[in-house]
Amino acid sequence: MGARVGYLVLNAVCISLLALVNAVPWLLGTIPIASGVGFLLWIGMVITSSSFERKAHDSNHGTAVVLGMIPALAAWAFQLVQTTLHAVNTNSNMTAALDSLAAAGLNPQGMIALSQGYLLTAIVLASTMVHIIERDFIYAAAWMAVASMLSATGIIHAYRVVGNAIEPALGFFPTEVSHQFAIVYAGMALMLAAFHLGEEEYKYTWSHVLKMVTWSKQRLPRHTPAAASIDEDTPLLLRSQSTLLEMEK
């Protein structure tokens, strides 16, 4: 709708004012939630569709939008699974339920890992893909390095099963999942850094080195000792010849 960054700025200003005056509970109690859901749904659809629009001079960042939605979809899917398990059997054990789901072929471990800190994960993945599309591989590598550090400290992806709940696990490599994601993200960072060095302005292959060596050899002056001595003695010989001519006159 043409708002661009202005929409985000207005949102930040309004939410800050509501939080400062503690008007959020009053607003929630006054305006029915159902009346605002349609508006929020419309705004979300417009923002998503605008991400897929491509102009002649712009890049299409739709792939980054889709990639950024995956962690949120994983969190929503796990919430549905968790709610269903509690509704069907209130005394069910989460560990046994996860084992049963894995035996049935669902394999919920990846879904749970993506749901932990899914907002940060979405930001990191979407930002990485944007820089890949723009061929700014060094910035994409930096985002992957950030993701590796976040995974290593348990801020994203790490979780523990405690009773019937899934809780985040913080610390330095708190779980095996943290090791796996941290290693994968670090490998991606190294690969993207290699892509950056492979770009044309940073491309120094063996053929380039040979060309530079050949060019430097061609630029070097070639002087022999005899030629150097002749060049040094030439002014003296000319002066002596001119002196002899003057004396003969």
Alpha-carbon distance values, 69 to 72, 136, 155 (Å):
5, 22, 19
How many other C-beta atoms are found inside a 10 Å radius of the C-beta of residue 109?
14
The pLDDT, as a whole number, for residue 15 is: 86
Q: Give the pLDDT band of residue 229 (cuts 50, 70, 90).
A: very low
Q: What residue numbers bound the domain in which 99 lies?
A: 60-205
Residue 97 lies in a domain: yes
Residue 14 lies in a domain: no
Residue of higher predicted confidence among 48 and 3: 48
**What helix, strand, coil percent values describe the chain, rounded to 5?**
75, 5, 25
**Mean of pLDDT over the chain:** 79
Residue 133 lies in a domain: yes
Residue 10 lies in a domain: no
d(CA 126, CA 77): 20
Residue 86 lies in a domain: yes
Q: What is the pTM of this model?
A: 0.65
Q: How many domains does the chain contain in total?
A: 1
Residue 144, amino acid = M
Helices 33-52 and 62-88 pack at an angle, to 10 degrees, of 140
The yes-or-no verdict on residue 185 having pLDDT over 90 is: yes
Exposed/middle/buried for residue 149 (C-beta within 10 Å: 0-12, 13-18, 19+): middle
Residue 157 lies in a domain: yes
Residue 55 lies in a domain: no
